[in-house]
Amino acid sequence: MEKKILLLCAAGMSTSLLVTKMLKAAEEKNIKVKIEACPVEKFREKLNEFDIFLLGPQVRFQHAELNTIAAEHNKKVEVINMVDYGTMNGAKVLESALNALNIN
């Protein structure tokens, strides 16, 4: 079953490279995922499309608010590890997202 991961950031630009690296890591591990990035403002309209939402470090201050909304829909919101984000470590970000969804 394909898991759907959405990265949320301030403008949607910095996370697009990370999405590419995550997709490459998923392909190498033969994991079926849909991964996209968009500005955090689109969170509510994307809520039903994705299983988990990953916040870029620049919007992590919105975690509590978005997590409350997501929980009402049985969805998860996590903050991307700052080091993994800074180094664009797609494999680590993908692994932490799958762990949060209890998929190993």
Q: Hey, how many other C-beta atoms are within 10 angstroms of the C-beta on 60?
A: 15
Distance of alpha carbon 34 from alpha carbon 24, whole angstroms = 12
pTM: 0.94
Residue 13 confidence class, pLDDT cut points 50, 70, 90: low
**Interval 94-102 mean pLDDT:** 95
**Closest to 69 (Cα-Cα) out of 2, 8, 1:** 8
Known catalytic residues? 9
Strand residues in the chain grouped as ranges (E): 3-9, 33-39, 52-55, 76-79
**Interval 73-101 mean pLDDT:** 96
Beta bridge partners of 6: 36, 53
Residue 51 confidence class, pLDDT cut points 50, 70, 90: very high
To which H or E segment does residue 93 belong? Answer: helix 90-100
